[in-house]
A and B are shown apart, each in its own frame.
Chain A
Amino acid sequence: MSTDSSNGGTLSIRHAGKIYDPDGSNVVALDDVTFEIKAKEFCVIVGPSGCGKTTLLNAIAGFDQLTAGQILLDGELLTSPGKRLLPGADRMVVFQQGALFPWKTVLWNVTCGPIQQGRMSRREAERHATHLLARVGLTSIENQYPGELSGGMKRRVEIVRALMNDPKILLLDEPFRALDALTKSVVQEYLLELYDLTPKTVFFITHDIEEAAFLADRVVIMTTRPGRVMKIVNVDIERPRNHQVLTTPHFLRIENEVREAIHDEARKAFEAGERELA
């Protein structure tokens, strides 16, 4: 199997199931989830809280085990019950809460992946990193620490770090959740710019419907408890896209289709949550 990620990156999720059973409560987080993400496709997963999105991401990343089914990347088995978990650099994760090492400078954070894997020399990695950082509007912050950056800057650095790693598939777990609306739209555009520059398979989790429709080639809508695939919506808007797309009737129609599908689910999930608390 080729290690060159420029071709490849097809992710198949087959009958994935996950049951949490800490004390016999049997919470079905994932139930028979089956879909495929084509190579270099930008796939966004939406669904109400607790629909197993993050569980699925953890299984793909190799942090967590499935209890049924399998996940394959380019035909190679990644995760299935009983298989040893192996997180790897071919599936780079951008975490919800952010995971830049606060004790290292921005430059170290961004270059550590290729350097640690021995794929690039320090000099090469640094040149590449500076270039990518500039691409997302970040210059002369290389020697600062993550703690000194704003939320939007941190997210951009994190995306650059993930791309520097040159993964086959990029996994993003609600990366823009903590950002305010204005910053969010700017960072989204930067993400799309980078995606257009070096297309990769992307697995992006959110529960922001507008964000989903804006970024995705395909939106996968999931239900909650049990987590299942409810509907898959194709987004046939041409790339490159910018925020002007957001007001076109075509975009609004797609966004509405997603919203309609997800609304009842969200209400159900909300009520289930209320019942649980009561």
Chain B
Amino acid sequence: MTTATTRSLIAKDKQATGARLRRWIVGLWNLNLLLGVISIGTLGLLWEYAQPLGIPGVRNVPAPSEVVSASAKLLRSRLYWEGWMLSVQRITLGFLAAQIVGIPLGLMMAMHRNSFDTMFPIVEILRPIPPVAWIPVSIIFWPTRELSVVFIVFLGALWIVLLNTIGGASNVDQNYKRAALSLGSTQRDLFWRIILPATIPSIVTGMAVGMGIAWEMVIAAEMIAGRTGLGYLLWQSFEINALAQVIVCMVSIGIAGYISSGIIRQLGGFAAPWQRQH
């Protein structure tokens, strides 16, 4: 075969391959979509018809159709939106406090060997205590319930933020520091221009995980000790046996958590633009 004929064959093949590849990608995308629809659809149907099918346990749970009608009612109530507002407010305060304490403390511990050696053992002693177990102490200590819930949120997010900051700041590539020093930077420059930026990705990771824990905490604290908020509404609905409302609350909390981690991710992309591609 001569090169010319091959060339024309390849040209034809080129189109065919392109089309085939595109079809394959589309097919794959559809396959995943299809599988997702199948699995979620099956689950939804089983849930909806659990009562007639007699599936143990699930048949006591209100069907999706009931949940939808309950949500229509709940979404119009003031209590529900107030719950949203209060939970978000507590999350914001507690979470911010955890950053304000955790990040500087972590940076200090990473940069000064002695402060690390002094403080880290206490962190290791306090960290394994589940934050939920602090709820009673928190109620006793803080003058208002509001503050005690915020404190629990703070405590939940604190450890992971602290650990990630320490980890990030002490793993900064030695060569960056050496390069900066040989370019004549001062200790101050070294901190602000090398160590802090290099730690940001790790801080953001800590924040993302911390946000998840913060939501766990706010729900726990509101359920156990609160008088308002989404967690309280959830527990209250359960106590008065309004099960459809329980599920609406669960979904709402899920959405809230999803949105807040989305925000963290956006912030992360903004604060560390060189990491965006990864």
Q: Do any beta carbons of A and B sit within 8 angstroms of each other in the complex?
A: yes
Judging by beta carbons under 8 Å apart, are A21 and B13 in contact?
no
Bound Cα distance A31, B13 (Å): 12
How far does the Cβ of A55 sit from chain B's closest Cβ, in whole Å?
14
Judging by beta carbons under 8 Å apart, are A21 and B14 in contact?
yes
Q: Is A61 an interface residue (CB 8 A)?
A: no
Partner of A19, one of B1, B3, B6, B14: B14
On chain A, the residues within 8 Å of B10 by CB distance are 17, 19, 28, 31-32, 67-68
Bound Cα distance A24, B15 (Å): 9
How far does the Cβ of A31 sit from chain B's closest Cβ, in whole Å?
7
Q: Is A81 an interface residue (CB 8 A)?
A: yes
Known contacts A26-B14, A31-B10, A81-B13; A21/B21 CB under 8 A:
yes
Task: Give the contacts of A1-60 with B (CB-CB under 8 A).
Answer: 15, 17, 19, 21-22, 24, 26, 28, 31-32
Judging by beta carbons under 8 Å apart, are A15 and B17 in contact?
no
On chain B, the residues within 8 Å of A67 by CB distance are 10, 13-14, 17
Bound Cα distance A17, B10 (Å): 7
Bound Cα distance A19, B17 (Å): 8
On chain A, the residues within 8 Å of B125 by CB distance are none
Partner of B17, one of A21, A31, A32: A21
Q: Mark A67-108, 1 if CB is under 8 A from B, else 0.
A: 110000000000001000000000000000000000000000
Closest to B2 in A: A32
On chain A, the residues within 8 Å of B7 by CB distance are 31-32
Q: Is B18 an interface residue (CB 8 A)?
A: yes
Q: Is B133 an interface residue (CB 8 A)?
A: no
On chain A, the residues within 8 Å of B240 by CB distance are none
Q: Is B9 an interface residue (CB 8 A)?
A: yes
Bound Cα distance A28, B17 (Å): 12
Closest to A17 in B: B10
On chain A, the residues within 8 Å of B1 by CB distance are 15, 32
Judging by beta carbons under 8 Å apart, are B21 and A17 in contact?
no
How far does the Cβ of B76 sit from chain A's closest Cβ, in whole Å?
48
Judging by beta carbons under 8 Å apart, are B3 and A32 in contact?
yes
Bound Cα distance A19, B6 (Å): 13
Task: Give the contacts of A145-198 with B (CB-CB under 8 A).
Answer: none
Bound Cα distance A68, B9 (Å): 8
Judging by beta carbons under 8 Å apart, are A17 and B13 in contact?
yes
On chain B, the residues within 8 Å of A81 by CB distance are 13, 17
Judging by beta carbons under 8 Å apart, are A24 and B13 in contact?
no
- Between B1, B7, B17, B18, the greatest number of chain A beta carbons within 10 A of the residue's beta carbon is seen for B17
How far does the Cβ of A150 sit from chain B's closest Cβ, in whole Å?
23
On chain B, the residues within 8 Å of A17 by CB distance are 6, 9-10, 13
On chain B, the residues within 8 Å of A21 by CB distance are 14, 17-18, 21
Judging by beta carbons under 8 Å apart, are B13 and A68 in contact?
yes
Give 22 A-B contacts (CB < 8 Å), ordered by A residue: A15-B1, A15-B6, A17-B6, A17-B13, A19-B10, A19-B13, A19-B17, A21-B17, A21-B18, A24-B18, A26-B14, A26-B18, A31-B7, A32-B1, A32-B6, A32-B7, A67-B14, A67-B17, A68-B10, A68-B13, A81-B13, A81-B17
Knowing that A19-B10, A81-B13 touch, tell me 16 more A-B residue pairs with CB under 8 angstroms.
A15-B6, A17-B6, A17-B13, A19-B13, A19-B17, A21-B14, A21-B18, A21-B21, A24-B18, A31-B7, A31-B10, A32-B3, A32-B7, A67-B17, A68-B9, A68-B13
The 9 A-B pairs with the shortest beta carbon distances in the complex, nearest first, are: A32-B6, A21-B18, A67-B17, A17-B10, A68-B13, A19-B14, A67-B13, A68-B10, A32-B3
